[in-house]
Chain A
Amino acid sequence: MESEIRSRPAFANILVRLTQGDAIVAESDAMASMSSSITLRTRWSGGFLGALLRRVFGGESLFVNEFSTSSRGELVLTQPFPGDIECVELKGQTLYLQAGAFVACEPTVELGVGYAGLSSFIAREGLFRLKLSGRGRVWMGAYGGILSKDIEGEYVVDSSHLVAYEPTVQLKLGLAGSLLTSLLSREGLVMRLRGPGRIYLQTRSIEGLASFVNGYL
């Protein structure tokens, strides 16, 4: 299966060429256009219970679509907001994705659900998170550009800018500084991550855009 991420970083979208035997799993509503030779199968996102948990506590979609073909065809996958898409190859390791970050993966990748903890819930990142494991390519999307970083010790990330992280990374909710500076700096609550492990960040947040626009309504 050939794939290419086009129009990066502002309007990233994935062009996928499928031949017989290939398949790709995509987030609900990710398909922009496709050849008529491609068919799809809809299934629960991370199993019935997992899908339900993520829907109720994370606001994620219940279903994912698996696209395949008996001949050949092209498929374009996208995300609802402008921004970049990054492809990561899983070789047995696990990756946690924040709500809204999942775009697509190969069918050999297992979609599961993990408990994210109360601090994640308070930071409005969802009580449950999408857990990707196994082998194969994963495509994650972001509003804005995507930065990846390998952290060793503690690292501070503004909540709503975290896109994905490896399971060795511990999440803790914290203040950006002292109580007063946290209030004055408008950074408020932040995520205090503890490595080692790789994290993926987005350079903008949709909540940030919403609060900017709200100021003018």
Chain B
Amino acid sequence: MESEIVARPSASAAKLSLDSNETITCEVGAMIAMSTGFSVQTSASKRGGSGLWAGMKRMVAGENFFLNHFTATRPDQTLYLGPVLSGDIVHRRLAGETLIVQGSSWLASGPGVELDTTFQGLGNALFSGESMFWIRCSGHGDLFLNSFGAIYEVNVEESHVVDSGHIVAFDSSLQFSTGKLGDSWLQTFLSGEGLVCHFRGQGKLYCQSHSPPSFGKLLGPMLRAR
């Protein structure tokens, strides 16, 4: 399978080229357009699996219960995928390592990528402003993530701080904890940053330039109640 990300970063779409019998699993509703040589299957887990439990877990992580599987039935088929929010898409090829993905950032992955829902600790969930559950992506194959805003990568060598709302994904080799920013709790509160996420270890971190909760808090009060 070949891929290209077009219209970056404000209205990104993933253009995928698949050969016969190649499959891509993606978020429900992500298909923008495709050629006619695809068979489409919808299930709650990987192709062939039962997956009721997997689907329910995915729902609590902020994803959809169902997944769509697109399999090319003829050579040289193209498929365009895109998320709902305006923003960026990043492609990563997994070669045995594991990536922890923020609930709504998973867009699509190849059949060799295992998807599981992972719990990041009650404390982290309650205080980070991030989802309690994350998607754990492991195995081998292509993985596509989406964001609100542009995605930038940080290679963490020792430690790094990310404001909540800006995390897209991180290598499982990184340890993540929620904590204060600066020296005191008073400062954390006054700085307006709230609690932040501290990453420790070595690995890659994907951040989004804009925070959906910050935008929501700005726009929300201007909207009228239904």
Question: Which residues from chain A sit less than 8 Å from chain B, CB to CB?
Answer: 6-7, 10-13, 15, 27-29, 31-36, 38-42, 61-63, 65, 74, 76, 78-82, 206-207, 209-210, 213-214, 217
Contact = CB atoms under 8 A, between A and B. Distances in A.
A31 B223 CA distance: 26
Nearest to B8: A7
B210 A11 contact: yes
Given A28-B192, A76-B207, A78-B209, A33 B224 contact: no
B159 A10 contact: no
A29 B209 contact: no
B150 A40 contact: no
Contacts, number: 126
Interface string B180-195: 0111000100111110
Contact of A33 (B163, B192, B214, B223): B163
B122 interface: no
Contact of B159 (A12, A36, A74): A36
Interface string B140-166: 000000000110101000111111001
A213 B218 CA distance: 14
Contacts of B219: 81, 206, 209-210, 213
A99 to B, nearest CB: 11
A80 B216 CA distance: 9
Residue picked from A62, A78, A217, most chain B C-beta under 10 Å: A78
Given A40-B182, A42-B191, A209-B219, A80 B214 contact: yes
A42 B163 CA distance: 16
Interface residues of B, number: 42
Nearest to B189: A42
Contacts of A33: 154, 160-163, 166, 205, 207
A134 to B, nearest CB: 23
B209 A7 contact: yes
A81 B10 CA distance: 13
Contacts of A36: 158-161, 198
Contact of A80 (B159, B207, B215): B215
Interface in B30-53: none
Contacts of A27: 192
Given A63-B190, A82-B10, A210-B219, A76 B152 contact: yes
Nearest to A207: B222
A27 B214 CA distance: 13
Nearest to A63: B190
B211 interface: yes
14 contacts: A10-B10, A10-B150, A13-B149, A13-B210, A15-B152, A28-B192, A29-B193, A29-B214, A32-B208, A40-B181, A42-B190, A78-B149, A80-B211, A82-B210
B9 interface: yes
Nearest to B88: A11
A71 B58 CA distance: 42
A94 B150 CA distance: 32
Contact of B210 (A35, A80, A207): A80
A7 B191 CA distance: 26
A63 B207 contact: no
Contacts of A15: 152
Given A39-B182, A40-B191, A76 B209 contact: yes
A3 to B, nearest CB: 15
